Structure 1
Amino acid sequence: MTDFPARVLSDDQLDLLELALGGAVAPSVLATVWPDAPAGAVLTDAENSPLARLTLPADGGRATLEPLKPLAPAIGPQWDDAVRRPAREVRAELAAGDDAGAPDPLGLLVTEVPTRQDTDAVVALAEHARTVLLLVPVARRTPAPGPVGAPGLVRAAAGLAVALTERTRARVSTVVLPWSGLGGVTLEEVAAAYGAADARPLLAQRTAATATAVSGLPHVLDDAVAALYPPASAAEVVRAAAADRRRGTVVFFTGLSGSGKSTVARALAAELEDDGLRTTLLDGDAVRHHLSKGLGFDRESRETNVERIGYVAALVAKHGGIAVAAPIAPFASGRATVRALAEETGARFVLVHISTPLEVCEARDRKGLYARARAGEIPDFTGISSPYETPDDADLVIDTSVLSMEEAVSTVRTHLGTAG
């Protein structure tokens, strides 16, 4: 593996890798995301976990993709194994259930939540289908504010599946497609790889009247205010509504490498975003690649890194957002600085200590860092050759060797008052 250079994949590229590993696109498609694709590369995530090895023969032969470690999952309906299945598995299941003369599976690309009119149109479309695949394209990256995110889209598709099951004779399956739009492939081509040769966008069933009504939803409140008030009064009502913000919050996770803090932080941020709360995730490894690029791992550099994270988190919270940060933050002084930065803006600060024992963290180690640290290859490694100062001021203490990820996220949400 050391003969291959490493490529750290973005969230969009991880979506493409997942498609390739599942057999939805050819391995060679992965090379299209780099202008100078090497003959081979070890593909890693932002935490430098080796996920797959891509080999591109110089003679133009067939590219190969060797899985190394599983892609890290998160929580939410879009990550449920029942719907997030590889293309080859879905395709094989459809082939095994084929009857002679049966029509090809009908694929419906669910890119927006279905309206009542969409649902009625799809029911009519599926009346003579034997199998319907509801294909839901979702991305790892955080969506722009406004549209329904991946969890809501999957839940809405599940509701459509229930309606189709109740109102038609078709066998209905909901399938999540990891989709970023990279690689020069279309959704229709990916749908065909999952077994839906006849794939149609759900939006193609939408009438012009419904499309107009949906596009006008963001302006409903403004129109209602304008109808109720004269211009000067309407301006004040709109101004007051815009100023009605939640108090900003910084949720600051600290813990050893491998404790689960990044996983819990990502899942928490995704759930808060799905609830319509403006949430910014500041993950320790990602920050190291950008905000703190060039810093070392001596004590001064670590403190500088944590202070930078705290400064950005405080800015997010100052403007009413929720900042979720997940560095190791091994020193009490650095954590105190972050707390002070947040509280100076009037934001709420919640310190979450992920207290998973060292031996558990070491056993989980996806990147082999603990073994390298014990071998003396990594100096100043927290928990081995550099101290971790256990917080005595944590608002929450969570051991992920005792609590599941879902339970850990629920614990934090209950403390924040955002539990559903």
Structure 2
Amino acid sequence: MNLPATTHVLTDDELDALELHLGGGSPALETGAEASPVTLTDAENTPLAVLDGAVATPVKPIARAAGPHWDAALRRPARDVAADVRRAVGPDGDVLAVVVDEAPTTAELAALPGLVAGAAAVLVLAPVARRSPAPGALGGPGLTRVALAVRDAARAAGAPRTDVVVVPWAHGPLADAVACAHGADRAVRLADSRPATVQDEVDALATVRSRAVEALYPPAVAREVEDAATHARRTGTVVFFTGLSGSGKSTVARALAAELDDEGVRTTLLDGDEVRQHLSKGLGFDKESRELNVERIGYVASLVAQHGGVAVAAPIAPFASGRARVRALAEAAGRFVLVHVSTPLEVCEARDRKGFYAKARAGEIAEFTGISSPYETPDDADLVIDTSQVSVEEAVALVRAVV
């Protein structure tokens, strides 16, 4: 397939839209691309689809990550979900979509029997975005677990067939048309069943501690206690992954960042390929440029740590001198955890989605790490992981044990 020369790098929200579109969840695709036709790529410049007008044709599979919201049994193309549910209930069976886009209270779960009554099948749709959730909001992993709990409650309420579907979505309330594309005849948002009095209690949760402090202390002292709590800062951390291209470091880094985000930990992901498109745009791949790229990543990561956040970085970082400078910057601001993703070269080559290794061996790419440019194996790593031996979920657990 000859790809159009014009390319458009998709944002996280646009990746969600592309995934939904390719799965049959939306008839048209809108991105910020001005030209047509145009090759749509991810942040690692992997060509994913060709967009012509409002229709995209797939080129390569969209990379998947780890976590419950990436479970292939739950994150399914809309057309497959619709076909399965219609096969089960027939063309005239009433299919209800229950949209779960925030944590349901006991009141919403109590309303489920009335909502699912009479439905031949129920689809519990969890709209999940790739980008980080707003502070205090459920991220993809948490929202998926909540949706599974709603499924169990719906089954207990007598729904004859209930399935959870993770929907890539980052555009506000889930559109009814998307629910219909998944095979639903009608859709309800579970949170709309929440009584106003309960919503008031939910809204007041953020001030519960303040009220308790005001009740315990005299006003002048209460202000000091609240100020101390407001400005309390956890020790910042830089988790720095290093390894060959294709080793799996970006996949593990993204999964780690998603878990931390979901738990309310302020997390910044600095992936090598994405950084090169912004922070290090214009740099080459000679040793000096590589070192400067890594140092820039380290500097930004140290700023995140300095303010109590967690920075997760995943460049190749092939040289010990560059990694040492990052360590010095990070340790001056907080903690530094070096993770060497030691996946063997032959495995990395076999995984190569962009054909870079083949081009490097053919002499078409100069100074390619592992082929024509050295990779200096760390002797100071806090953790060594081989992703050909452990799953992404296991790798994340190993990292979390030392972070």
State the TM bucket, normalised to the shorter chain. Answer: over 0.9
Residue correspondence of structure 1 range 19-418 to structure 2 within 5 A:
19-26=20-27, 29-30=28-29, 32-34=30-32, 36-38=34-36, 40-56=37-53, 64-99=55-90, 102=93, 104-181=94-171, 187-345=175-333, 347-416=334-403
The superposition leaves residues 150-209 of structure 1 with CA deviations (integer Å, 9 ceiling, x where unpaired) of 211111111111111112243111111100229xx9621111110112011112211111
Question: Residue 249 of structure 1 contacts residue 321 of structure 1 at CA under 8 Å; is this kept in 2?
Answer: yes
1:395 CA drift (Å) = 0.9
Q: Distance in 2 between matches of 1:37 and 1:105?
A: 40
One-letter amino acid of the structure 2 residue matched with residue 68 of structure 1: V
Shift in CA distance, 197/373, structure 1 to aligned 2, threshold 3 Å: same
1:235 CA drift (Å) = 1.3
Q: Distance in 2 between matches of 1:139 and 1:413?
A: 23
Q: Alignment partner of 2:162: what SS?
A: strand
Q: Alignment partner of 1:308: what SS?
A: helix
Deviates most, 9-18 or 163-172: 163-172
Question: Residue 138 of structure 1 contacts residue 150 of structure 1 at CA under 8 Å; is this kept in 2?
Answer: yes
Q: Alignment partner of 1:97: what SS?
A: helix
Question: Residue 127 of structure 1 contacts residue 170 of structure 1 at CA under 8 Å; is this kept in 2?
Answer: no
Q: Distance in 2 between matches of 1:311 and 1:376?
A: 33
1:359 CA drift (Å) = 1.1
One-letter amino acid of the structure 1 residue matched with residue 141 of structure 2: P
Q: Distance in 2 between matches of 1:150 and 1:262?
A: 18
- Gap regions ≥5 residues in structure 2: none
Runs of 4+ in 1 over 6 A off after TM superposition: none
Q: Distance in 2 between matches of 1:253 and 1:205?
A: 44
RMSD: 1.6
TM-score (normalizing by structure 1)? 0.92
One-letter amino acid of the structure 1 residue matched with residue 239 of structure 2: V
Question: Residue 89 of structure 2 contacts residue 121 of structure 2 at CA under 8 Å; is this kept in 1?
Answer: no
Q: Distance in 2 between matches of 1:37 and 1:189?
A: 27
Q: Distance in 2 between matches of 1:78 and 1:203?
A: 20
One-letter amino acid of the structure 2 residue matched with residue 361 of structure 1: C
One-letter amino acid of the structure 2 residue matched with residue 318 of structure 1: Q
TM-score (normalizing by structure 2)? 0.96
Question: Residue 109 of structure 1 contacts residue 136 of structure 1 at CA under 8 Å; is this kept in 2?
Answer: yes
Deviates most, 11-20 or 123-132: 123-132
Deviates most, 382-391 or 330-339: 382-391
Counterpart of 1:59 in structure 2 is none
Deviates most, 173-182 or 331-340: 173-182
Q: Distance in 1 between matches of 2:344 and 2:57?
A: 33
Q: Alignment partner of 2:127: what SS?
A: strand
Question: Residue 112 of structure 2 contacts residue 157 of structure 2 at CA under 8 Å; is this kept in 1?
Answer: no
Q: Alignment partner of 1:33: what SS?
A: coil
Aligned residues: 402
Q: Alignment partner of 1:128: what SS?
A: coil
Q: Alignment partner of 1:310: what SS?
A: helix
Q: Distance in 1 between matches of 2:277 and 2:221?
A: 49
Q: Distance in 1 between matches of 2:306 and 2:56?
A: 45
1:220 CA drift (Å) = 1.0
One-letter amino acid of the structure 2 residue matched with residue 23 of structure 1: G
Question: Residue 332 of structure 1 contacts residue 389 of structure 1 at CA under 8 Å; is this kept in 2?
Answer: yes
One-letter amino acid of the structure 2 residue matched with residue 36 of structure 1: E
Question: Residue 126 of structure 1 contacts residue 170 of structure 1 at CA under 8 Å; is this kept in 2?
Answer: no
Shift in CA distance, 100/302, structure 1 to aligned 2, threshold 3 Å: closer
Q: Distance in 2 between matches of 1:2 and 1:23?
A: 22
1:216 CA drift (Å) = 1.2
Question: Residue 97 of structure 2 contacts residue 123 of structure 2 at CA under 8 Å; is this kept in 1?
Answer: yes
Q: Distance in 2 between matches of 1:97 and 1:55?
A: 35
Question: Residue 4 of structure 2 contacts residue 39 of structure 2 at CA under 8 Å; is this kept in 1?
Answer: no
One-letter amino acid of the structure 2 residue matched with residue 387 of structure 1: P
